[in-house]
Amino acid sequence: QYFSVTFLTGTPGVGKTTLGKELASRSGLKYVNVGDLAKEGQLYDGYDEEYDCPILDEDRVVDELENQMKEGGVIVDYHGCDFFPERWFHIVFVLRTDNSELYKRLETRGYNEKKLQDNIQCEIFQVLYEEAMASYKEEIVHQLASNKPEDLENNINQILKWIEQWIKDHSS
Ligand code: DAT
Protein backbone atom coordinates (compact mmCIF):
# COMPACT_ATOMS: atom_id res chain seq x y z
CA GLN A 1 0.00 0.00 0.00
CA TYR A 2 1.45 3.27 -1.19
CA PHE A 3 0.85 6.04 1.31
CA SER A 4 1.45 9.74 1.67
CA VAL A 5 4.61 11.32 3.03
CA THR A 6 4.41 14.86 4.40
CA PHE A 7 7.48 16.98 4.94
CA LEU A 8 7.61 19.83 7.47
CA THR A 9 10.53 22.20 7.15
CA GLY A 10 11.55 25.70 8.23
CA THR A 11 14.02 27.58 10.43
CA PRO A 12 14.62 26.09 13.90
CA GLY A 13 11.92 27.34 16.29
CA VAL A 14 9.09 27.83 13.79
CA GLY A 15 7.10 24.96 15.31
CA LYS A 16 7.80 21.88 13.17
CA THR A 17 8.03 19.49 16.12
CA THR A 18 4.92 20.85 17.81
CA LEU A 19 2.89 20.57 14.60
CA GLY A 20 4.39 17.24 13.53
CA LYS A 21 3.66 15.48 16.83
CA GLU A 22 0.13 16.83 17.04
CA LEU A 23 -0.54 15.84 13.43
CA ALA A 24 0.76 12.35 14.06
CA SER A 25 -1.40 11.85 17.10
CA ARG A 26 -4.51 13.01 15.26
CA SER A 27 -3.88 11.19 11.98
CA GLY A 28 -2.24 7.91 12.92
CA LEU A 29 0.72 8.79 10.71
CA LYS A 30 4.20 8.33 12.12
CA TYR A 31 6.27 11.35 13.12
CA VAL A 32 9.97 11.22 12.21
CA ASN A 33 12.32 13.87 13.61
CA VAL A 34 15.48 13.73 11.49
CA GLY A 35 17.55 15.59 14.09
CA ASP A 36 16.65 13.04 16.78
CA LEU A 37 17.23 10.14 14.38
CA ALA A 38 20.73 11.43 13.61
CA LYS A 39 21.45 11.84 17.29
CA GLU A 40 20.29 8.34 18.20
CA GLY A 41 22.26 6.73 15.38
CA GLN A 42 25.18 9.17 15.68
CA LEU A 43 24.75 9.81 11.94
CA TYR A 44 27.34 12.56 12.00
CA ASP A 45 30.35 13.44 9.94
CA GLY A 46 32.47 15.74 12.06
CA TYR A 47 31.74 18.83 14.13
CA ASP A 48 31.09 22.40 13.02
CA GLU A 49 33.07 24.60 15.41
CA GLU A 50 31.64 27.84 14.08
CA TYR A 51 28.02 26.83 14.55
CA ASP A 52 28.77 24.63 17.55
CA CYS A 53 26.86 21.61 16.30
CA PRO A 54 27.58 18.20 14.78
CA ILE A 55 27.58 17.92 10.98
CA LEU A 56 24.90 15.63 9.61
CA ASP A 57 26.07 12.64 7.56
CA GLU A 58 23.44 13.17 4.88
CA ASP A 59 24.07 9.93 2.99
CA ARG A 60 23.67 7.81 6.10
CA VAL A 61 20.50 9.68 7.08
CA VAL A 62 19.01 9.01 3.64
CA ASP A 63 19.98 5.31 3.81
CA GLU A 64 18.51 5.01 7.28
CA LEU A 65 15.16 6.51 6.19
CA GLU A 66 14.76 4.97 2.73
CA ASN A 67 12.67 1.92 3.71
CA GLN A 68 10.38 3.90 5.94
CA MET A 69 9.75 6.44 3.19
CA LYS A 70 8.86 3.68 0.73
CA GLU A 71 6.30 2.34 3.17
CA GLY A 72 4.92 5.85 3.59
CA GLY A 73 2.45 7.15 6.16
CA VAL A 74 5.11 9.42 7.60
CA ILE A 75 5.48 13.04 8.67
CA VAL A 76 9.12 14.12 8.41
CA ASP A 77 10.52 17.10 10.35
CA TYR A 78 13.84 18.76 9.51
CA HIS A 79 15.33 22.26 9.13
CA GLY A 80 16.99 21.41 5.83
CA CYS A 81 15.69 19.78 2.70
CA ASP A 82 18.12 19.87 -0.20
CA PHE A 83 19.63 16.42 0.40
CA PHE A 84 16.50 14.27 0.60
CA PRO A 85 15.50 12.45 -2.60
CA GLU A 86 12.79 14.40 -4.38
CA ARG A 87 10.64 11.26 -4.82
CA TRP A 88 10.17 10.87 -1.05
CA PHE A 89 7.71 13.66 -0.44
CA HIS A 90 4.21 14.20 -1.77
CA ILE A 91 3.80 17.57 -0.11
CA VAL A 92 6.14 20.02 1.59
CA PHE A 93 5.08 22.60 4.17
CA VAL A 94 7.46 25.41 5.06
CA LEU A 95 6.50 26.94 8.41
CA ARG A 96 7.10 30.68 8.77
CA THR A 97 7.32 32.77 11.94
CA ASP A 98 7.61 36.55 12.42
CA ASN A 99 11.04 37.69 13.58
CA SER A 100 10.06 39.07 16.97
CA GLU A 101 8.15 35.89 17.84
CA LEU A 102 10.94 33.63 16.57
CA TYR A 103 13.51 35.63 18.54
CA LYS A 104 11.54 35.08 21.75
CA ARG A 105 11.26 31.33 21.12
CA LEU A 106 14.97 30.89 20.36
CA GLU A 107 15.99 33.04 23.30
CA THR A 108 13.96 30.74 25.55
CA ARG A 109 15.99 27.86 24.13
CA GLY A 110 19.14 29.52 25.43
CA TYR A 111 20.76 30.02 22.02
CA ASN A 112 23.85 32.26 22.11
CA GLU A 113 23.73 35.61 20.31
CA LYS A 114 25.44 34.33 17.14
CA LYS A 115 23.16 31.33 16.82
CA LEU A 116 20.15 33.57 17.49
CA GLN A 117 21.17 36.05 14.81
CA ASP A 118 22.00 33.30 12.28
CA ASN A 119 18.59 31.73 12.70
CA ILE A 120 16.74 35.05 12.52
CA GLN A 121 18.66 35.86 9.32
CA CYS A 122 17.76 32.42 7.98
CA GLU A 123 14.09 33.27 8.51
CA ILE A 124 14.35 36.84 7.12
CA PHE A 125 16.00 35.64 3.93
CA GLN A 126 13.50 32.74 3.72
CA VAL A 127 16.37 30.32 3.21
CA LEU A 128 14.30 27.19 3.82
CA TYR A 129 11.48 28.35 1.55
CA GLU A 130 13.92 29.02 -1.28
CA GLU A 131 15.66 25.70 -0.63
CA ALA A 132 12.33 23.84 -0.71
CA MET A 133 11.27 25.61 -3.93
CA ALA A 134 14.61 24.67 -5.52
CA SER A 135 14.48 21.04 -4.33
CA TYR A 136 10.87 20.04 -5.06
CA LYS A 137 8.19 20.81 -7.63
CA GLU A 138 6.92 24.26 -6.80
CA GLU A 139 3.31 23.14 -6.76
CA ILE A 140 3.86 20.79 -3.82
CA VAL A 141 5.57 23.45 -1.65
CA HIS A 142 3.31 25.47 0.65
CA GLN A 143 4.05 28.10 3.27
CA LEU A 144 2.15 28.12 6.56
CA ALA A 145 2.12 30.91 9.15
CA SER A 146 3.20 29.62 12.56
CA ASN A 147 2.99 32.54 14.98
CA LYS A 148 0.21 31.79 17.41
CA PRO A 149 -1.80 28.87 18.80
CA GLU A 150 -4.67 29.52 16.33
CA ASP A 151 -2.17 29.03 13.51
CA LEU A 152 -1.27 25.62 14.90
CA GLU A 153 -4.93 24.59 14.93
CA ASN A 154 -5.51 25.91 11.40
CA ASN A 155 -2.41 24.22 10.06
CA ILE A 156 -3.35 20.86 11.57
CA ASN A 157 -6.80 21.04 10.03
CA GLN A 158 -5.48 22.10 6.65
CA ILE A 159 -2.84 19.36 6.51
CA LEU A 160 -5.27 16.67 7.69
CA LYS A 161 -7.65 17.68 4.89
CA TRP A 162 -4.82 17.48 2.39
CA ILE A 163 -3.77 14.01 3.56
CA GLU A 164 -7.37 12.78 3.37
CA GLN A 165 -7.70 14.11 -0.19
CA TRP A 166 -4.36 12.63 -1.19
CA ILE A 167 -5.40 9.19 0.05
CA LYS A 168 -8.73 9.45 -1.83
CA ASP A 169 -6.95 10.46 -5.02
CA HIS A 170 -4.47 7.60 -4.79
CA SER A 171 -6.57 4.72 -3.50
CA SER A 172 -8.07 3.45 -6.74
P1 DAT B 1 10.93 23.48 15.68
O2 DAT B 1 10.62 22.02 15.79
O3 DAT B 1 10.57 24.07 14.36
O4 DAT B 1 12.32 23.84 16.09
P5 DAT B 1 9.17 23.69 18.02
O6 DAT B 1 8.01 22.86 17.61
O7 DAT B 1 10.14 23.09 18.96
O8 DAT B 1 9.95 24.25 16.73
O9 DAT B 1 8.57 25.05 18.60
C10 DAT B 1 9.38 26.07 19.17
C11 DAT B 1 8.61 26.77 20.27
O12 DAT B 1 7.53 27.50 19.73
C13 DAT B 1 8.01 25.83 21.30
O14 DAT B 1 8.18 26.44 22.57
C15 DAT B 1 6.54 25.77 20.96
C16 DAT B 1 6.29 27.10 20.32
N17 DAT B 1 5.29 27.06 19.23
C18 DAT B 1 5.24 26.19 18.20
N19 DAT B 1 4.21 26.45 17.38
C20 DAT B 1 3.58 27.53 17.90
C21 DAT B 1 2.43 28.31 17.52
N22 DAT B 1 1.71 28.04 16.41
N23 DAT B 1 2.07 29.36 18.31
C24 DAT B 1 2.78 29.64 19.42
N25 DAT B 1 3.87 28.96 19.84
C26 DAT B 1 4.26 27.93 19.10
| Nearest protein Cα to ligand 1, atom 10 | 13
CB atoms within 10 A of CB 11: 25
Q: Is 170 within a domain? A: no
Beta carbon of 13 within 6 Å of any ligand 1 atom: yes
Domain with 93, as residue range(s), is 5-164
Q: Please write the tens of the pLDDT for every residue from 125-158.
A: 999 999 999 999 999 999 999 999 999 999 999 9
Q: Please write the tens of the pLDDT for every residue from 37-58.
A: 999 999 999 999 887 789 999 9
- 3-class secondary-structure state, position 2: coil
Determine the distance separating the centroid of ligand 1 and the alpha carbon of 99, expressed in angstroms.
13
Q: What is the pTM of this model?
A: 0.95
> What CATH number does residue 75 fall under?
3.40.50.300
What's the domain count of the chain?
1
Q: Are residues 8 and 161 in contact, defined by beta-carbon separation less than 8 angstroms?
A: no
- Alpha carbon dihedral 16, 20, 22, 24, in 10-degree steps, equals 180
Q: Is 172 within a domain? A: no
DSSP letters, 81-136, are: -TTS-GGG-SEEEEEE--HHHHHHHHHHTT--HHHHHHHHHHHHTTHHHHHHHHHS
